[in-house]
Amino acid sequence: MENISRRGFIESGTIAALGMSILPMDLLANNQTKKTVRIGVIGTGGRGTGHVGTLLSIEGTEIIAVCDLTLAKAENAANLCEKAGKIRPKVYCKDENTWKELLDKEKLDCVIIATYWDSHAAIALHAMKNGIYPGIEVPAALTVEDTWKLVETSEKTGIPCMMLENWSFRQDNLAVLNMKRLGMLGEIVHCHCAHSHDCIDHWFFDSKTGDQKWPAEYLLKYNRDQYPTHSVGPVLSWMDINCGDVFTEIYSTASASKGINAYFKRKFGNDHPNANLKYRQGDIITSLLKTKMGKTLVINMDMQLPRPYSNRWMLQGTLGVYDEEKGSIYLEGKSPEYHTWESWKPYEQKFNHQWWPGDLSAQSHGGTDYVMLCQFLDAVKAKGPTPIDVYDSAVMTAIVELSGISIAKNAPVAFPDFTKGKWQTNKPWFAMDKTI
């Protein structure tokens, strides 16, 4: 059950090789209870192994069981636990449904789900029905129907459900959120975000042979924003989605599909089997979303053309604008030169979020995975709400199928209100910083 990573696979190896050191969860969580969190990990490929390494670096955790379709990967995860001086977790590896046995037999507080995309929702639903907090890798589901099932099952069981969208926990994004909540950007009007990441030669295909990896089937079968959550994650709290506003419709368009064929012809020649296949997935997906309160959001998926990595976050309000790609900010009446960009970095340091108490750069994804998992585990320990709740998880997830429907219809489609009207009275909750 190998899951793709965000910016390259985390290689297997010892905890030292993963660059981990044991750090207390309370450093970030402000939770002084000493309960050990009992964890299962389902899916121990690249992403799952990375989570194992991060979990082993957090005090007060115990990985009870691991599961994968490939025995060597599950055993590797168990070996990492032993090498870290922890108990060896029980290994589950029989068939594609063995995860059910793990969830039914083991006494767990939470489970990390890092499997193939099409199994995320089923595993999370089973976990909640067993009283287990699911931490689901992105996307949480692939259909709006399954997304609604996650929402309704969480409500029925009372078990919080969190999609592990780590870019919501980035240091820069949380500093922007602090500034937004202080009113420094004024009333928010518009946002832009993107997942701009050339993934053809490592996520979708083998760079040496050109052979398809499992996510490549989605490029053949669908034309949609396959991976919107990294883009949209931080934007939800910037725009007060589900707590003061709500998306009402989405209109998505797709460019022609040129990049994949061009890549194969350039690298492997015209005779490679993949060079002349017809891929449904357009190279650039552009989605425009409108909110009830009159805000707009543009999302780009850009994963098939040669380019450096970028998220292109931009937040614009009545008093200023933040531009992540430029590394710049402009604040009306505060920036030293009229209508001139100034550097973002001093603002990131000045408005640093309390979840980032020091240098975490040695951790996975520059510390974002560590911050995210600490906050998730703190919620599990307290038996309280998760930092990203099921409604925000649902909004990010639903974009996958809705964008495809809109592209096929060449028309806007309605965006579900997963809160069923509660957005009108919900107060902001994500990453509330007591220091500002």
Digit-coded pLDDT (tens) for 201-223: 999 999 999 999 999 999 999 99
Domain for residue 2, yes or no? no
Question: Are residue 117 and residue 200 in the same domain, yes or no?
Answer: no
12 is a domain residue: no
Same-domain pairing of 183 and 150: no
Q: What is the pLDDT of residue 26?
A: 44
If asked whether residues 403 and 418 sit together in one domain, one would say: yes
281 phi-psi bin (left φ>0, alpha ψ -120 to 50, beta other): beta
| One domain, residues 155 and 184 | no
Q: What is the pLDDT of residues 50-85, one digit of tens each?
A: 999 999 999 999 999 999 999 999 999 999 999 999
Residue 371 lies in a domain: no
Cα 123 to Cα 127, 138, 388, 392: the distances in Å are: 6, 13, 18, 19
| 322 and 173 in a common domain | yes
Number of domains comprising the chain: 2
Are residues 86 and 151 both part of a single domain?
yes
Residue 31 has pLDDT above 80, yes or no: no
Domain boundary among 116, 133, 166: 166
Inform me whether the pLDDT recorded for 3 exceeds 70.
Answer: no
CATH number at residue 119: 3.40.50.720
Mean pLDDT of the chain: 93
- What would the two tokens of residue 64 be? 């009870």
Query: Which pLDDT belongs to residue 422?
Result: 98
Rounded Cα distance between 160 and 224, Å, is: 28
Residue 243 lies in a domain: yes
Res. 22: pLDDT tops 60 = no
- Written in H, E and C, the secondary structure of the chain is CCCCCCCCCCCCCCCCCCCCCCEECHHHHCCCCCCCEEEEEECCCHHHHHHHHHHHCEECEEEEEEECCCHHHHHHHHHHHHHCCCCCCEEECCCCCHHHHHHHHCCCCEEEECCCHHHHHHHHHHHHHCCCEEEECCCCCCCHHHHHHHHHHHHHHCCCCEECCHHHHCHHHHHHHHHHHCCCCCCEEEEEEEEECCCHHHHHECCCCCCECCCHHHHHHCCCCCCCHHHHHHHHHHCCECCCECEEEEEEEECCCCHHHHHHHHHCCCCCCCCCCCCCCCCEEEEEEEECCCCEEEEEEECCCCCCCECCCEEEECCEEEECCCCEEEECCCCCCCCCCEECHHHHHHCCCCCCCCCCCCCHHHHHHHHHHHHHHHHHHHCCCCCCCHHHHHHHHHHHHHHHHHHHHCCCEECCCCCCCHHHCCCCCCCCCCCC
From 166, 190, 213, the end of a domain falls on 166
Of 110, 142, 166, the domain-final residue? 166
Per-residue pLDDT at 291 = 98
Q: 180 and 48 in one domain?
A: no
CATH of the domain at 190: 3.30.360.10
In a domain, 16, yes or no: no
Q: Is residue 125 domain-shared with residue 195, that is, in the same domain?
A: no
Instruction: Please check whether residues 125 and 249 belong to one and the same domain.
Output: no
Let me know if residue 256 belongs to a domain.
yes
Q: Are residues 185 and 225 in the same domain?
A: yes
Domain extent at residue 204: 168-356+389-424
Q: What is the mean pLDDT of residues 100-127?
A: 98
Specify whether 196 is located in the same domain as 105: no
- The arithmetic mean of pLDDT across residues 144-149, rounded, is 98
Greater confidence, 20 or 322? 322
The count of other CB atoms within 10 Å of the CB of residue 189 is 15
Check pLDDT > 90 for residue 29: no
Q: Both 105 and 223 in a single domain?
A: no
Residue 39 lies in a domain: yes
| In the predicted structure, residue 5 carries a pLDDT above the cut 70 | no
11 within a domain of the structure (yes/no): no
**What's phi and psi for 133, nearest 5 deg?**
-65, 125
